[in-house]
Structure 1
Amino acid sequence: MKGRAAGARLWRALRVLSLVALLVAVVSSVGAAERVSIGHAAMQPRVAPLWVAADRGLFAQEGVEVTIVLINGAPTLLASLTARELQFGYTGGSTVLAAFAGGLPVKMLAAFTNKVSFDFVARPGITRPEELRGKRVGVQSIGGPLWMGAMLGLEYLGLEPVRDKIHIQVVGAQPQLVQALQAGAIDATVVDGIFSRPLKAQGYAILAELPTANIPFVGEGVVALKSTVEQNPQVVERVLRALVRAVAFIQQPGNREAVIQILARRLRIEDPRRAEDGYRDMLQMIERKPYPSLEGLRNVQRLLARQNPKVAALQVEDVVDTRFLRKLDESGFTDGLLGTTGAR
């Protein structure tokens, strides 16, 4: 009898331990942060929503553990998305349209800039747009946001690469483009104001300040494979919530110094005045509600179609998925955040 009673007590103890272990496992799985990787190729101030969301812990607060990966160009970023090495990309509308036309089921979930934001800069000795004929224009990658900015910039200046024998040369991100321009490896390029102002002070010509031209465009935004969106809608919403919160943080005047410090560190800028310039430029361009501009996508589509006829057949509405942003908007989440910043 004693042996039987002892066995029963042991059995009950084992059952209790099993239940406790199961409960711990369930609680841990509920509380565990989702791990995702987000890639970006641009190195300029408009990546600020991504950096702020990471550095201020906004992703973590939304239950997402994010790794930010710097990618060498839009084609590599798309390849990494396809290989599932990245769950999200932070890139432009031209990248998304070209990928979609090529059969990659990618969706644009948000866009933080909806007009061309670059300055068109030329080396000393070139002071007029027509002097770019037969010259070399540097970009980061063919089909990427900088390339599209250069194409739209040339069009704005009345130039056409084929007709005017302008050579489009792949160099790298904006810091590398500046170095190539200074070294004489290229004759002109498009860069953000944070890079163009020091060049202007050194005697380089600003052929066009494209932000003042209000050219419709879709710059950096959030993209993901359609399968990622369908299989992980909660993760998508958490990522977008964090980024919308980052936009509100950026626009809060009291956070100015914190944002400038993040820009200086991420862009490796030692001169605080340059970081402050980048901050001001970014505030002028960033969308409070980051819906991708259909007009901007159609403008991008128009130029892409000259090189890739498949792009012309696309309906740009099929490329975007704004249901997550609409949900945040309709719930009052976005307006509530913007109301705390004094933003209009």
Structure 2
Amino acid sequence: MVRTRFILLCGLICALCYGGSLFAQDKVRIGYIGLSLSSLPLVAARELGFFSRNGVQAEVVLLTSQLSAVALNSGELQYVAGVGPGSVSATLAGSPSRAVWIVANRMIYDVIAQPELKTLQDLRGKRIGVSGLGATTHTAFTMALEKTGANPKDFVVVALGPQQHQRAMESKSVDAMIVDPPVSFVLLKKGFNKILDIGAAVEMPVGGLTTLTKTLDGKPDQVRRVIKALQQAKESLIGSRERSVGFIVKTMNMEPEIAVKTFDLMAFAWAGSGVPTRPGMENIVKGIQSQGRFADRKVAFEEIAEPRFALQVARELGHKE
């Protein structure tokens, strides 16, 4: 009897030490639009074991923003890795979804132009490449232009497909692009010009997690654990230059020199708790409305975001929120 109790006690101690990894794990499917800087916490959470440690078995599915919204509403996905104009527009259009976690509230997008173009004025009437019409890059660019006093209608915005950014600039298919690292650093190294730091002009979430209200109501502990895995993965990346640079080089096939520069920007921009903020979410709505969508609608923060789970995780991890 004593031996049996001792064995049970040892098992309990092991369970407490190793967490959810010893128990049946929740299987979830998370959609994302492609490998980018803002998706690194998702990739790290899977590759470095943070999902497993939090009792989550995550399948990561590559889908477009539009298909992700459809799959989320149909139940094919439980989460979408992203918070931005696309996900918020889907919510405003009737999807019962909420932003529950963000990678950062500061974007690190720049407007990079052809070598002969030196100023924002030079870009009037020129073709500006964005990741998608109505996407984060497009919305943020529009808001940054308005902040500088420029008229967004003076600029020709075109959508480019995934992985076409560098090729489009080198072939002169576009005159400028809105890009983040590593592409921005690669282009600067090749002699292209930085025209505008969008992140310095606009506070808006980049990356994150969106899910349905029925998941929030029905599986609150799962939501908390998924968020915790992502936040821990993000903090792991920005907490160690050596670990992060190695992971970036391996995952994004990046030169070490550019990976170091990318890490320095990440460490600055991502140093937050992951809790969606009112100003950031309101700026997403303003950006959407500036493009003529849902223009007459008054949108409450609670209609598009649910921060309480990220707040719980932030407190668990020692953030003061």
Q: If the length of structure 1 is used for normalisation, what is the TM-score?
A: 0.80
The corresponding residue for 1:51 is: 43
Shift of 1:310: 5.1
Q: Is the 8 A contact 1:107 1:319 kept in 2?
A: yes
Residue type matched to 1:273 in 2? E
The corresponding residue for 1:200 is: 188
Query: C-alpha offsets along residues 283-326 of structure 1, whole Å, 9 cap, x if unaligned?
Result: 11114311112112222222211311357321123211112122
When the two structures are aligned, how many residues end up with a matched partner?
A: 298
Shift of 1:125: 1.8
- Distance, in Å, in 2 between the alignment partners of 1:132 and 1:159 is 11
Residue type matched to 2:176 in 1? A
- Distance, in Å, in 2 between the alignment partners of 1:311 and 1:144 is 20
Is 1:138 aligned with 2:129? yes
Q: Is the 8 A contact 2:26 2:56 kept in 1?
A: yes
Q: If the length of structure 2 is used for normalisation, what is the TM-score?
A: 0.85
- Distance, in Å, in 2 between the alignment partners of 1:290 and 1:91 is 12
Q: Is the 8 A contact 1:135 1:187 kept in 2?
A: yes
SS at structure 1 position matched to 2:58: strand
The corresponding residue for 1:275 is: 259
- Distance, in Å, in 2 between the alignment partners of 1:79 and 1:188 is 32
- Distance, in Å, in 2 between the alignment partners of 1:78 and 1:108 is 13
The corresponding residue for 2:210 is: 223
- Distance, in Å, in 2 between the alignment partners of 1:334 and 1:127 is 44
Is 1:260 aligned with 2:249? no
Query: C-alpha offsets along residues 27-75 of structure 1, whole Å, 9 cap, x if unaligned?
Result: xxx9321111112225332322212211111101111111122333x22
Residue type matched to 1:296 in 2? G
Sequence identity percentage: 23
The corresponding residue for 2:227 is: 240
Residue type matched to 1:233 in 2? P
Pairwise CA RMSD of aligned residues?
A: 2.2
Is 1:114 aligned with 2:109? no
The corresponding residue for 1:21 is: none
Residue type matched to 1:60 in 2? S
- Distance, in Å, in 1 between the alignment partners of 2:280 and 2:296 is 14
Query: Structure 2: which 5+ runs fail to align?
Result: 1-21
Q: Is the 8 A contact 2:140 2:202 kept in 1?
A: no
Is 1:178 aligned with 2:156? no
Q: Which runs of structure 1 show a deviation greater than 4 angstroms over 4 or more consecutive aligned residues?
A: none
Residue type matched to 2:243 in 1? A
The structure number with the bigger radius of gyration is: 1
- Distance, in Å, in 2 between the alignment partners of 1:185 and 1:87 is 38
Q: Is the 8 A contact 1:37 1:88 kept in 2?
A: yes
- Distance, in Å, in 2 between the alignment partners of 1:312 and 1:284 is 34
Residue type matched to 2:80 in 1? G
Q: Is the 8 A contact 2:238 2:244 kept in 1?
A: no
Q: Is the 8 A contact 1:304 1:311 kept in 2?
A: no
Shift of 1:83: 2.8
Alignment of 1:1-344 (within 5 A): 31-72=23-64, 74-162=65-153, 164=154, 166-173=155-162, 175-211=163-199, 213-253=200-240, 256-269=241-254, 271-306=255-290, 307-309=292-294, 312-330=297-315, 333-335=316-318
Query: Structure 1: which 5+ runs fail to align?
Result: 1-29, 340-344
SS at structure 2 position matched to 1:143: coil
